[in-house]
Structure 1
Amino acid sequence: MLQYLLRRLLGMIPILFIVTIIVFLFVHLIPGDAARLVAGPDANKETIELVRKDLGLDKPIHEQYFTFIGNLLKGDLGTSLKTHKPVFDELAGRFIPTFWLTFWSMLWACIVGILIGIVSAVKRNKWQDYTGMLIAVVGISIPSFWLGLLLMQLFSVKLGWLPTGGLEDWRGYILPSITLGTGVAAIIARFSRSSLMDVLKEDYIRTGRAKGFAENSLVKRHAIKNAMIPVITMTGLQFGFLLGGSVVTETVFSFPGLGRLLIDAIATRDYPIIQAEILLFSVEFILINLVVDLMYGFLNPQIRYS
């Protein structure tokens, strides 16, 4: 496994190099003039040119890219054009809230989604199955921004139990995590049901039934473990997506996370922030996929890494 892990880590290098090129070109193709935004609406042409030169935006794009890569290899993500603070500090201050929001969202979504999926698969074509899949379809169909506003209206405005936004204490995570996790829980429920139903049709399950093993024992000891392998893959991708910053949810609740930071950076053409966030999202997805692959071996010892 160690050799497999080392190969995967080394394989990340060319992938990240390609990602840096795509990200750099994509960011610089965004319409608008960052120098004009930094200089302010009342700045004259000479001032804007001085700002552009100070930011290095007057250089050819390939020189800007090599400067960006050189600084990146030194661990320097640059300086925010808007706040004039190091990009690393800007991301560090927003990463922790987004991480915990994602963690709590995924935690309850996995527990509820897997339970609904298992019950629906075991009680196939019964009222439990129909009820579980109805809940899943509703969860997938509800737009997150509408659900967030609905929860805010009910629990914040009418009942006054929870804050409408921001992050003053732990209560600030509740409504955003419910909003963020609802769609994920629905997807996990449907995926778990489908995967477990396929496993329950396997020959070794039929053999166990023929030998007189109890259905609950077969499901708990044999079927669920194998059914969870594709579910873990999907869950890992969902975790990477949410950790990358749920723009809609964080905007609705004015949540101080990476998604809100990215929206603000795009609006102000803050190139260093945009580049750093997209690179961070890419690294997160690559590492999460690696962790998911390694977890396969724990669920199924027959899986070998080569």
Structure 2
Amino acid sequence: MFKFTLKRFGYMLLTLFIASSITFMLIHAMPGDPLAVAARKLPEQIKANYYAKYGLNKPLLTQYGLFVKNAVKGDLGQSLASPGRDITETIMKHAPISARIGGQGLILGVTIGILLGIVAAFKRGKWPDYLVMFIAIVGISVPSFVVASLLQFFFTVKLTWLPTTGWGEFKHTILPTIALSLSPIATYARYMRANCLDVIGQDYIITAKAKGVSNVSLVFKHVIRNAILPAITLLGPQVAGIFTGSFVVESIFSIPGLGQYFVSAITDRDYTMIMGQSIFVSALFIVALFLVDIIYGLVDPRIRVSSGKR
């Protein structure tokens, strides 16, 4: 297991380096000058100092080398559009807010989705199965911002049970959490239903039934453990989606998460802010995939054994 983990950790670092390099080059390949508007009315000497402050007067490879050196130390620089705003501090301050509503939505969605998928598989061809599939279709087809708007209309405008916008109390997270949970519910319900149906048809399940194994023991000890393994793969992208998938929902509910800074950074051509948040999300995505690989190895020892033979 140690060799398996060490190998996956090396792949993670290599992938992160490649992703950060490609992101840096793509951002700097964008046409235009990020400081053109801010520095156009300044005297030439002050303008030169302005460009030197952000290192934009250096060759591209030198800029990249400085970025990597500072990023390793946890320094992602300062915002170009808002001088003095430290990017690392901005991420550390606002990422937990995005993580909270996104994490709550993911946990709720995964839990309900897995349960619905199991129910649909064991009630195949009956009304619970059709109901779960209908929920899955709706969850995949309807965007989260549409769900968010509908929730606002019914629960804040019509019923006045919950606040429309704001942040600070648990009640402010209820509607955003529900809006973000619908997609995971649909995804995991479909995957778990398909995986459970595949496992139920295996010979060892038929043998367990013939031996008189109880339904509870059959579900938890045999079906779920084998059916949930392919669904674990989805956790990596879903964890990264905690941040990227909640940007629009954050705007709808006026939640002070990372979404507002990411959108404004693109609008203002704020290279450093875009780069910092892109690296943060990329690192989160890659680390999540690394953890998924480790969980794979723990759940199914055959994976780490076959990986060690390669």
Q: TM-score when scaled to structure 2?
A: 0.90
SS at match of 2:233: helix
SS at match of 1:34: coil
Q: Is the 8 A contact 1:78 1:87 kept in 2?
A: yes
Q: Is the 8 A contact 2:15 2:286 kept in 1?
A: no
| Unmatched tracts of structure 1, length 5 or more | none
CA deviations 1:42-88 (Å, max 9, x no partner) are 83574655533432223332222122122223332111123322211
Structure 2 counterpart of 1:111, one-letter code = T
| Unmatched tracts of structure 2, length 5 or more | none
Q: Show the counterpart of 1:187.
A: 187
CA distance in 2, matches of 1:107, 1:12: 25
CA deviations 1:256-288 (Å, max 9, x no partner) are 222222111111122121111111111111111
Structure 2 counterpart of 1:89, one-letter code = E
- The change in CA–CA distance for 1:302 and 1:61 in structure 2 (over 3 A counts) is closer
Q: Show the counterpart of 2:111.
A: 111
The size of the alignment, in residue pairs, is 304
* TM-fit CA distance, 1:15: 1.8
Q: Show the counterpart of 1:85.
A: 85
Q: Show the counterpart of 2:64.
A: 65
* TM-fit CA distance, 1:303: 4.7
SS at match of 2:234: helix
Structure 1 counterpart of 2:282, one-letter code = S
Structure 2 counterpart of 1:156, one-letter code = T
Q: Show the counterpart of 1:269.
A: 269
Q: TM-score when scaled to structure 1?
A: 0.91
Alpha-carbon RMSD across the aligned residues, in angstroms, is 2.1
Q: Is the 8 A contact 1:139 1:182 kept in 2?
A: yes
CA distance in 1, matches of 2:245, 2:129: 33
CA distance in 1, matches of 2:168, 2:37: 31
Identity %: 39
Of 201-210 and 23-32, the range deviating more from structure 2:
23-32
CA distance in 1, matches of 2:2, 2:259: 35
SS at match of 2:256: coil
Q: Show the counterpart of 2:225.
A: 225
Q: Show the counterpart of 2:41.
A: 43
| 1:1-306 map, 5 Å | 1-39=1-39, 43=41, 46=44, 51-83=50-82, 84-244=84-244, 246-300=246-300, 303-305=303-305, 306=308
CA distance in 1, matches of 2:107, 2:145: 21
Q: Structure 1: which 4+ aligned runs deviate by more than 6 Å? A: none
Structure 1 counterpart of 2:19, one-letter code = V
CA distance in 2, matches of 1:15, 1:252: 34
CA distance in 1, matches of 2:128, 2:11: 45
